[in-house]
Amino acid sequence: MIALVDMNCFFAQIEQQDYPYWRNKPVGVTNGKLGSTIITASYEARSYGVKTGMRLKEARELCPNIIQAPSRPYRYAAVSTEIMDALFSITPTVEVYSVDEAFLDLTACQSLYDSPQHIGFLIKDTISQVSGLTCSVGISGDKTTAKFAAKLNKPDGMTIIAPWEAEERLSKEDVTELSGINKGIARFLGKYGITKCGDMKKVPMSLIAKRFGNPGRRIWLMAQGRDPEPVITTIKEPKSVGHGKVMPPGTRDMNTILTFFQHMSEKVGARLRKHHFLSDTFFIGLKTPLGWLGTKQKIYNATDDGALIYDLCKQFIKSRYSGEECGQVQVTALNPTHHKQQDMFVDESYKQKREALNTAIDKINERYGEFTVAPTRVIGRSEMPNVIAPAWKPTGHRKTI
């Protein structure tokens, strides 16, 4: 027995809760005050046709009274953490799938509860008590069917699909209705006459496995309500720690580009230090109309210092940039580890001073807000709002914004 918890319009719902006069009104959350794209919208706004990813200008044409709410990532992450922590009171096996979704393995807990309905309502009540928010819950015998069930009765719904009914229930659904099957996979399946989940049994598992490997085997089983993937509770070490930002279209001004690079360098450095990582290899990139202009730079001594990372960015600009239009910057620490071999000839006194300085800055910024103390270029970068990392988790190194 597996449940999928899906918060309803999570960001917008938090905004309506924190600002009561926005309740029952159309709200569109954007990335900061200057954000031009809808991150998520309340159901009142969605009733006008407003969708995630839509430009704010287009949303206003559909819904002139839409309220623009600048996103508050730290608030959303804090509420999510409270919700995820509360779910452990129901079962010890919880997979935080995203900032607003979680899988619960209830198999070993069934004897503690009266019925699947009892568990579903307990989940909803638990979330309501800790956050005051509503959610939709899907319950079935596997992760994919549970996720499919959760979206059937939104908002504030609950759907139960018994494991022995899953295959028949999914059989008439488009394969793209299942999480993980995108348009590219659907095109491949379509070549063999597979458009509905029920069509999957027309071909052998080996056909899809030959094209997609183990994920293909899983897809074949998913369509029959037999997703074999368990609820995953372990968090793997990161393969990279990076930050990027979109710049004004057509940016050529060197000072602006360097400001963005320093901002990203300081964020990467702070995040490495927070989770006790070091890296000796960094990707530095600029996105131009012709694609990415980038480089991987390896240094002798692994670092978590934003100033040293920014030096790499300046070297990159000096050697590779020729005045092209730019729309985005990216700074990424590759293969971060907790320990790196240090050069015996490194200036220890300088290293110790920088570590002490960074420790003091991190403490101040953690207490008073990000970039309260920072290089002059970076202070007051409110027009560069934060976002929640796609791989956000409430514990460990992935709790990042």
User: Which 3 state secondary structure label does DSSP give 161?
Assistant: coil
Backbone angles phi, psi at 133, to 5 degrees: -105, 165
Residues 250 and 236: their CA atoms lie apart, in Å, by 38
Residues 322 and 194: their CA atoms lie apart, in Å, by 49
Reference 94, options 227, 230, 231, 237; nearest CA is 231
Structural contact between residues 264 and 318, judged by C-beta atoms closer than 8 angstroms = no
Strand duo 2-7 + 101-105: pairing: antiparallel
Structural contact between residues 331 and 283, judged by C-beta atoms closer than 8 angstroms = yes
Q: What residues are labeled active site?
A: 101
Residue with tokens 């071999």: 341
50-88 b/e (C-beta count within 10 Å ≥ 16 → b): beeebebeebeeebeebbebebbbeebbebbbebbebbe
